[in-house]
Structure 1
Amino acid sequence: MKTDVLDVDTARRRTVDLTEAVRAFCFPLGDGLCNVFVPHATAGVAIIETGAGSDDDLVDTLERLLPRDERYRHSHGSAGHGADHVLPAIVAPSITVPVHGGEPLLGTWQSVVLVDLNRDNPRRSVRLSFVEA
C-alpha cells in the first residue's frame, strides 16, 4: 500500500477541492483503489460537483441541519462547536475511488472535497492510500 498525507488549510473555505491532489497521487500507480481519509472528529470528505454552486449549497445545507448554537452537549470551543462533532455522521470521514491506469474513475462533474465547518481548527490532514488491484 502506498500512502501520503496532505496538509490542508480550511481557514477561508468550508470546502476544499482535493481532486487534483488525488489525481497526482494516483497518476503513476496503475489499477486499484484510492482511499481518502480525514483523521479528524470534526471533518469529512465528499464527492460533489464544484464550481457551479453545489459546494456552497452543501455548506448552507449542513449549517441549516447543524446550527451553531448552544443546544449541543459537547460544548467546549466556539459557540456551536458540538455541531462540528456531529458532521462526520452526515459527511463520512472517508471515501474510496476506483483507479484505472493511474486515473481516478470520477464522473464528469465529480470532485473530491474536504468538508470542514469547524472554525476552531483550520489545519487539516488528509491521508491518501492506494491499494493495487
Structure 2
Amino acid sequence: MRSQLISLTTGSRETVHDITAECDAFAAASGGDGLLHVFVPHATAGVALIEIGSGSDEDLLSALGDLLPADERWRHAHGSRGHGRSHVMPAFIPPYATVPVLGGRLALGMWQSVVIVDLNVDNRERQVRLSFLSG
C-alpha cells in the first residue's frame, strides 16, 4: 500500500473543500487499478463525493445547518458557538471515502468530486491521508 499525507487550509468559515485534483494526481502515480482511500484524521471533518460548483456544496452546508444548528444546545461546548455540532457531523458525513481507480484514473461519476466537509471554524489546518491499495 502506498500512502501520502496532504495538508490544506479550510479557512475561517464552514466549507466544502475540493480535493479531487490532489486525489487524481495521487491515483495517476499508481498507473494501475486499485482503490484510493481518503481519510481525514480529525474529529470534526468528513469526506464526501458530491457535485460542486452548481450550488450543491452550498446546499449541503445549508442542510447541515438545518440538521445541526450552530446554537447553544450542544454539550460539547468549548470553542466557537455551536462547536459541538462539528463533533456530531462525522456521524452523518464520515471521515473517509473509498474510490475505485482504473488505469491510474479515479472512477468517479461525471459530476462527482471528492471534498472535505468542515464545519469547524476553530481549526483551519487539516490533513488528509490518501492511501492506494493495488488491485
State the TM bucket, normalised to the shorter chain.
over 0.9
Which residue in 2 is equivalent to 1:6?
6
**Aligned residue identity for 1:32:** G
CA distance in 2, matches of 1:80, 1:50: 25
Over 2 Å off, 4+ runs = none
The equivalences for 1:18-97 within 5 A come to 18-29=19-30, 30-97=32-99
1:5 shift after superposition: 1.0
CA distance in 2, matches of 1:84, 1:28: 34
Runs of 5+ in structure 1 lacking a partner? none
1:8 shift after superposition: 1.0
1:28 shift after superposition: 2.4
The alignment of Structure 1 onto Structure 2 pairs a total of residues equal to 133
Which residue in 1 is equivalent to 2:110?
108
- Aligned-CA RMSD value: 0.9
1:83 shift after superposition: 0.4
CA distance in 2, matches of 1:46, 1:3: 19
Which residue in 1 is equivalent to 2:18?
17
SS in 1 for 2:126: strand
CA distance in 1, matches of 2:60, 2:119: 11
**Aligned residue identity for 1:18:** I
Q: TM-score, normalised by structure 2?
A: 0.96
Deviation string, structure 1 residues 20-74 (Cα, Å, up to 9, x no partner): 1100000021110000000000000000001101011001110111101110111
Percent identity over the alignment is 56
CA distance in 2, matches of 1:7, 1:59: 22
Runs of 5+ in structure 2 lacking a partner? none
SS in 2 for 1:56: helix
